[in-house]
Amino acid sequence: MKKYLLITLLICINPLFAQDFLKEVDEIAEAELKSSSQLVNFQANPNTANYDVTYQKLEFTIDPAVYFISGNVTTQFLALENMNTITFDLSSITSTSNQYYANRITVGSVMMNNQSVAFTHNVLTKELIITFPSTVSAGTLQSVAVSYAGAPDTTEQGFTKSSHNGTPIIWTLSEPFGARDWWPCKQDLNDKIDSLDVYITAPSEYISVTNGLEMGIVDNGNGTKTTHFQHNYPIPAYLVALAITNYSVFTQQSGTAPNEFPIVNYIYPENLTSAQNSLAVTLSIMELFENLFETYPFSNEKYGHAQFGWGGGMEHTTVSFMGSFGRNLIAHELAHQWFGNKVTCGTWKDIWLNEGFATYLSGLVVEGLDDEASFVNWKNSMIQNITSQNGGAVYLTDSEALNVSRIFSSRLSYNKGAMVVHMLRWKLGDAIFFQALKNYLADPSLAYGYAITEDLQYHLENASGINLTEFFNDWVYNQGYPSYTLTVANNAVNQALITVNQTQSNSSVSFFEMPIQVRLNGAGGQTFDVVLNHTSNGQQFIVNVPFQVTSATFDPNKHIISKNNSTTLGIKTIDWSNVIQLLPNPTSNYLTIEVPETMQIENITVFNNLGQVVSSFNEKVLMVSSLSDGVYYVNLTTSEGTFYKKFIKN
């Protein structure tokens, strides 16, 4: 008679912890999609691809009490081909149900070489097209200055007026498509502005903040003052931001010599005391991230926070705009300075390179500043949210990349992206994983530029020597998650046989290959953790255990996105062909034969597809680099019999 004991996985998790954290992630996602909350017909604009922005001087005049901006934007650019016109993205009108009804931004003049030049402001395409008096040759540096004014389009809400405690504030939030609402720019993710000077003129009673280092303030003698900021790192248009209100300012000092820098905080006066207390943890988070990755990427200038009128936050380069000051939000927006601001997703399909990493780094703060149990709870909350639906990929399709609600999906871009990052860490190990990320951030072709998913995969593979194509196909490009069924049997004294099967929640993936952790439990409270490299259904593992197994727990430390897992205590049935594994498979250089410690290998013969013997071994590691690409078969003679296995050389 067969007897089975069903073991149910129980995680001791504080439900309030999970609920509060997931709510914060939703608020972050909501803030970061705020600038365009509907399906937006915005793609890479081919009309802006023929030049490289090298410098911009942004001069704005704004009164927080009035929904209005006047500006003069000087753009220095490098012509990438012969040019007779230059195009900027710039909205001009508001629309409702496709009926255009109000001019919002009016361009007054465009100057080039101190001469007025012709321009067209296309209301339908939201383009400002400037005609040059003569051809600008490829390789030439040239500049144009655009003067404009108006009340920006309220549809996409990149430019917003609100109030706090009766005091007006104007602030901007331009991700993903909102920069064009309030200044002529190059909206695409194909260029960064090499450097910026920003001059904000506002009534003297207000404090202005934007990217970069404050260079000085000039009293204009007419009740206004002009604050000058300079930013000397490359920056995409969507990360340029400003805010103006009656801020109180306090500064923290951070970094390690010689890379010391201020953290400048712009806070509503009515919230100053509580914000100072909450923001104290920024120093510990900054130290953690610098130790794990590298020096804060903008250490020559500043980091900081500016309070603004929206829930969640937004990671504007060198100054995150904050709706509140919880530790998770502080960590998430600071993490973006590395993942999102220094290295920026190259397309909106790759948004997980920004949001998945920032979310995961907020989890590293739980791990680093709290304890391991809290980190397990954090991961469990992620997994529960991810698996609340059966489908959904981390990487976006072309059509999804036009839908800001999908771009900033908290379940997929943030939470699943974060757990995929953790699974890469689990698969590769800490030393290789963190070194790969350091290499990714330091890559001169990516640093202060753009990256796509393939760039990350390259650095992970280069550091580890492991082909991750199948991992990325399963977990990044395709959908769903696995459910595991384990049967554990006491095979002999101090030895257990574990049989592993899985099903998939979505048909886009036929099998998820992952190392899985299993905790074996004994009657006396003993525990013993084993890691099994699960590569096929029905696979069996023989493991040495220092006690008789009475139950087992699947993935106790929550390393894998999965759901509805079960573990059964069963009887011994060994299928040796499933116990023997050839890894990696496919392979380029070497092949390792994994067998239980109790099995002795007597001889190994390798055949090609024609049945010809190409090699013979008696070692567990085979060098196959000299073999031609193709399918091969291994004949293993062992103490338990003769077995045949297939591998692919590529």
Superfamily name and number for 581-649: Immunoglobulins (2.60.40.10)
Give the three-state DSSP class for 274.
helix
pLDDT digits (tens, 9 = 90+) for 8-44: 333 333 555 556 777 778 777 776 665 444 434 445 6
The answer to whether 317 and 298 are in contact (CB under 8 A) is yes
pLDDT digits (tens, 9 = 90+) for 45-58: 899 999 999 999 99
**Kind of pairing, strands 621-623 and 105-112?**
unpaired
Q: In this structure, which amino acid lies at residue 633?
A: Y
CA angle 204, 206, 207 (to 5 degrees): 115
What's the mean pLDDT in 119-147?
Answer: 96
Distance CA 407, CA 403 (A): 6
Which CATH number fits the domain 481-578, given the four candidates 2.40.128.130, 2.60.40.1840, 3.40.47.10, 3.40.50.1980?
2.60.40.1840
Distance CA 195, CA 188 (A): 17
What percent helix, strand, coil does the chain show, rounded to 5?
25, 40, 35
* DSSP H or E run through 439: helix 430-442
409 burial via Cβ count (<10 Å: 0-12, 13-18, 19+): buried
H helices within 325-429, ranges in order? 327-335, 352-369, 372-386, 404-407, 417-428
pLDDT digits (tens, 9 = 90+) for 61-103: 999 999 999 999 999 999 999 999 999 999 876 544 444 445 5
Show me where the domains of the chain are located.
Answer: 13-32+254-476, 40-246, 481-578, 581-649
The answer to whether 303 and 319 are in contact (CB under 8 A) is yes
Q: Is residue 268 over pLDDT 90?
A: yes
Distance CA 62, CA 404 (A): 28
What's the mean pLDDT in 401-420?
Answer: 94
**Kind of pairing, strands 259-267 and 303-307?**
parallel
pLDDT at site 613: 87
Distance CA 9, CA 331 (A): 31
HEC letters along 3-52: CCEEECCCCCCCHHHHHHHHHHHHHHHHHHCCCCCCECCCCCCHHHCCEE
The answer to whether 426 and 560 are in contact (CB under 8 A) is yes
H helices within 216-341, ranges in order? 272-279, 282-292, 327-335
Say which CATH architecture domain 40-246 belongs to.
Answer: Sandwich (2.60)
Q: Is residue 583 over pLDDT 50?
A: yes
Q: Is residue 5 over pLDDT 50?
A: no
pLDDT at site 96: 46
Residues paired with residue 100 on neighbouring β-strands, in sequence order:
95
Strand intervals (E) in 412-548: 449-451, 482-492, 495-504, 514-522, 527-534, 539-544
pLDDT at site 358: 98
Q: What is the pTM of this model?
A: 0.86
Evaluate whether 481-578 and 581-649 have a shared fold. yes
Sheet holding 196-203, edge to edge: 115-116, 105-112, 141-150, 69-79, 51-61, 196-203, 224-231, 213-219
CA atoms in the 13 A half-sphere facing the CB of 38: 9
pLDDT digits (tens, 9 = 90+) for 588-631: 888 888 887 778 888 898 988 888 888 887 778 888 888 999 99
The answer to whether 251 and 320 are in contact (CB under 8 A) is no
Which CATH number fits the domain 13-32+254-476, given the four candidates 2.60.40.10, 3.40.190.10, 1.10.390.10, 3.30.470.20?
1.10.390.10
Q: Is residue 494 over pLDDT 60?
A: yes
Distance CA 367, CA 139 (A): 50
Distance CA 420, CA 357 (A): 9
- Percentage above 90 pLDDT, the chain: 73
| φ/ψ of residue 243, rounded to 5 | -150, 145
What's the mean pLDDT in 517-531?
Answer: 96
Mean pLDDT of the chain: 90
pLDDT at site 8: 31
What's the mean pLDDT in 194-206?
Answer: 98
Q: Is residue 247 over pLDDT 90?
A: yes
Greatest alpha-carbon pair distance for the chain in Å reads 96
- Percentage above 70 pLDDT, the chain: 92
The DSSP letter of residue 339 is: B
Q: Is residue 518 over pLDDT 90?
A: yes
C-alpha distances out from residue 548 to 9, 539, 553, 595, Å: 20, 22, 15, 22
